[in-house]
């Protein structure tokens, strides 16, 4: 099992100690995103990568003046964690944070509950 999947499994097991777990990468443009299934429950894991390649330097230059991007995966993870907490406390439906591992810059989210 790749190391990134092993870290996700450890976070999942803190949240759900039992059950069959499957992990599948579903995206990896800005961050690595994984669909995690525990029995019939669907979750999302996100790993915040550090942007050190040429494409991120190019995007940073292109975005000057319009958007502030941090190339640090740790900073982006901390910002998303804090922003989700703020929005949730204000009653805005956002994914719940079920677990996190700061060393690997990975967060486990529940799906957003939507009102009809």
**What pLDDT sits at residue 23?**
96
Beginning with the edge strand found earlier in the chain, give each strand of the sheet holding 21-27 in spatial order: 21-27, 32-38, 41-47, 106-109, 97-101
42 has pLDDT over 70: yes
Residue 66 predicted with pLDDT over 90: no
3-class DSSP string for 18-67? CCCEEEEEEECCCCEEEEEEECCEEEEEEECCCCCCHHHHHHHHHCCCCC
CATH classification of 3-109 is 3.30.110, yes or no?
Answer: no
Domain-by-domain residue ranges, the chain? 3-109
Q: What is the pLDDT of residue 25?
A: 94
Q: According to the model, what pLDDT value does residue 67 have?
A: 56
Give tens-digit pLDDT for 51-63. Answer: 665 555 666 666 5
């Amino acid at each position: 099992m790749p190391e990134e999947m092993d870290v996700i499994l450890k976070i999942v097991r803190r949240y759900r100690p039992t059950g069959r777990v499957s992990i599948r990468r579903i995206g990896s443009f800005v961050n690595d995103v994984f669909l995690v299934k525990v029995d019939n429950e669907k979750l999302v894991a996100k790993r915040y990568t550090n942007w050190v390649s040429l494409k991120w330097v190019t995007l940073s230059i292109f975005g000057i003046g319009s958007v502030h991007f941090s190339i640090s995966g740790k900073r982006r993870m901390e910002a998303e964690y804090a922003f989700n907490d703020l929005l949730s406390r204000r009653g805005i439906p956002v994914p719940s944070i079920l677990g996190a591992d700061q060393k690997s810059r990975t967060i486990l989210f529940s799906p957003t509950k939507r009102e009809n």
